[in-house]
Chain A
Amino acid sequence: MARAGGITNAVNVGIAVQADWENREFISHISLNVRRLFEFLLQFEATTKSKLASLNEKLDTLERRLELLEVQVGTASANPSLFST
C-alpha cells in the first residue's frame, strides 16, 4: 500500500514537473513575442522620427522660399507700370 502510494506520488510529481515545464515553455513563448513586439516598436519609433525630421526640414525650407517669393512678388507688384506696354 505504501509502495503504491509512493509510486502514485512519484507519478504525480512527474506530472507536476511536466506541467511546470509546459507552463514555463508557454511563458517563454509569450515573453519572446512580447520582446519582438517591443523591438518592432523601437524600430518603428526610429523610422517615424527620421521621417518627421525630414518632413520638418522640408517644411522649414519651403517656408523660407515662400517668404522670399512673397517679398519678390511684393516688390514686383509695387511698380505695375514696368509690365505695361
Chain B
Amino acid sequence: MEVELPRPDNPAMTFDEVSMERSKNFVKALQELKNLRPQLYSAAEYCEKSYLHNEQKQMVLDNLKDYAVRALVNAVDHLGTVAYKLTDLLEQQTLEVSTIELKASCLNQKLLTCQTYTDKEGIRQQQLLAFIPRHHKHYILPNSVSKKVHFSPQLQTDPRQNYLHAKSRLQPSDTPASKTLSWHLSSETKSTLKGTSQTLASNEISKPPAPASEVFQLVENGDNARAKSSAALFPASNALVPSLGITHRELEGSKPLTAFRSFDNPKRDIIRAPVRSKSVLSSFFVKQKQMKLKAGYVA
C-alpha cells in the first residue's frame, strides 16, 4: 500500500508562475465543462433504452430523476468554476495593464524632464551671446519721498548707472514733480563727492575748498577753462572721477547747475535737471557699446 507523501506548498512562486498556474486551471476547468456534454448525451441514451427494455419502469424513472438532478448540479458547479477562473484571469490581466500604463507614464515623465533640461540648456547657451537688459530705462519715485539714496564715491559704478546718469541729464525741464531715480542718484553723487573733495582738499591742498557749485559747474560747449581749474584744484578727485564714471568729456557739454540739496533737508528748492548736448551723449553711448562688446567677448 503506497502512501502518498503530501506535496509541500510552494509559496515562493514568481508572478509569472502564478499567472501561468491560473491560466492552466482555467483551461482545465473549461476542458472538464466541455467533457460534460458527451457524458450527458450518453446518460440520456442509456436511460431511454433501459426505460424501453426494462420491465421496472418506475424504478428506471426514479433513477432518471435522481441522475438529472445530480447532472444539473454538476453542470452548474462546473460553469461556476469556469466563470470564476475567467473573471480572476481578466482581473489579473487588467492589473498588469494598469501597472504597465503607470510605468509608461513614468518613462514619459522622465523623457519630458530630459527634454525640458535640453531646452533650458540650449536657451542658456544662446542667452550668453545676446544682451538682455536687466533694468528699465528709468524709475519714477513718488513725490513725497523721504528715502535717502546712498551713493558712495569709492564704489565702482556700472556703465549702466553712468548711462542712467547721462540719461537723467536728458530730462526736460518741464518734468513732473516726481523726480527720476537716476537724477536723485546723480544729485547724491555730487553731494558726496563734494564732501570727499572737501576732505581731500584739506589734506593735500592748502587753499580753501571751493564752493560746491564750482566743482560741479558743468560747462557748455568749448569752455575747458573751468574744467581745467576744477581739475587743478582737486587733483585727487581725478582718481574718483573714473570710479564715478564722470569724465571731462561729460563735463564739457553740460550746463551749470543752479542749486541742489540732499534729501535730508525737508525744505528743498525746486531744482531743474541740467540738459546735456547730444554730442557728449553720443560719445558716451559709443563708450557704453564698447564696454558691452568687451563684456560679451569675455563671456
Contacts and interface: CB of A to CB of B under 8 A. Distances in A.
A65 interface: yes
B111 A58 contact: no
Given A30-B72, A48-B90, A55-B94, A69 B111 contact: yes
Nearest to A65: B104
A26 interface: yes
Interface in B77-127: 79, 83, 86-87, 90, 93-94, 97-98, 100-101, 104, 107-108, 111, 114-115, 117-118, 121
In the complex, which range does the number of interface residues on chain A fall in?
A: 20 to 34
Interface string A44-65: 1000100110110011011001
Contacts of A78: none
A12 interface: no
A61 to B, nearest CB: 8
B111 A76 contact: yes
Interface residues of B, number: 27
B52 to A, nearest CB: 17
B148 interface: no
Interface in A55-83: 55, 58-59, 61-62, 65-66, 69, 72-73, 76, 82-83
Contacts of B43: none
A61 B101 CA distance: 9
B100 A62 contact: yes
Contacts of A61: 101
B76 interface: yes
Interface of B: 61, 65, 68-69, 72, 75-76, 79, 83, 86-87, 90, 93-94, 97-98, 100-101, 104, 107-108, 111, 114-115, 117-118, 121
Interface of A: 23, 26, 30, 33-34, 37, 40-41, 44, 48, 51-52, 54-55, 58-59, 61-62, 65-66, 69, 72-73, 76, 82-83
